Amino acid sequence: MLSKEQMLGKYQILDRLGAGGFGTVYLAEDKLLNRKVALKVPHHQQDEQSLLQEPRIMAGLKHPNIVELITVEKKDDTFFMVMEYVDGESLDKYIRRERCLHPLRALDIAIDVASAIGLAHSHKVIHRDLRPANILLTAEGVAKVTDFGTSRVLATQDLFARTRIGSPPYMSPEHFRGRAVFQSDLWSLGITMYEMLTGTVPFYDADPVKIAQAFQTQPVVAPHLKNQAVPKAFSEVVMKSLMVNLGERYLSAHALLEDLRRLKDSMAKETRPLGSAGLPVMKTPPSSQRPSTNTQPRLCRFCYRPLPRNAATCPSCGEKG
């Protein structure tokens, strides 16, 4: 673990931004260029080929909605990735604060993420851990996908990624079976859209197996039935992203992105002429009918285990929420 003010080559550590299963991310200042960057330091430093896997994937993904990899370095026997610092917040923190997002805001974020995932898929890269904690929002509100630590390149001979790794509430049924495909990322985005619109994921249980079983045995309540402010057309896009049958789900990120953009055009035409700053004509439900997040436990953004009520620190992984 690096300490505040510590120098790592030309980088001065300013703060710890967070930690995950594969590494810790620090805010640092490049003392030569006088700019802030994010340093990702993997927990395990031994296998160089494994260390280079994520940066080699990210090096080919240049997109305004993907956090940029600047370079990789090794100083004082510590390998680390130097990445763009996003001066904003993660989508999960945003959702936690707002409870549920205005449909137009959720739509803009979904379009950004679908565009990023489409680019990754065109490079044969499957993310495998797409969720609000891995989506950063800039101060201008632009969404950027990050953390490709669990990503894999699906070569021509590989029909699916076999390792079952990811965050259970956002994993597709085929991902649970160790057969993740590009459409599995679209499922994860569908769950993320669902959470933005309703404040909750469709199903949660401390036992990941029960989550997978729930999608197979229980119907998902459509977002517009949980939040009256959600247009039915938007709800239908989300539900198509969550089809268990791959043939009924969106076949590509491009197809999903096209529907999201058409939906945005349609919603833009339904705006009030004056005094609404471009917001769609939607009836705001009374407080008694607004979606409640009390039916599911608050979850840690790092290990995704339940947090005790009002807890500031996760008792499972020790991270601050």
Using alpha carbons only, give the angle 4, 15, 94 rounded to the nearest 5 degrees: 165
Does the annotation count 129 as an active-site position? yes
Q: What angle, rounded to 10 degrees, do the helices at 182-198 and 232-241 form? A: 140
Choosing from 92, 112, 129, 147, the catalytic residue is 129
Residues marked as catalytic? 129
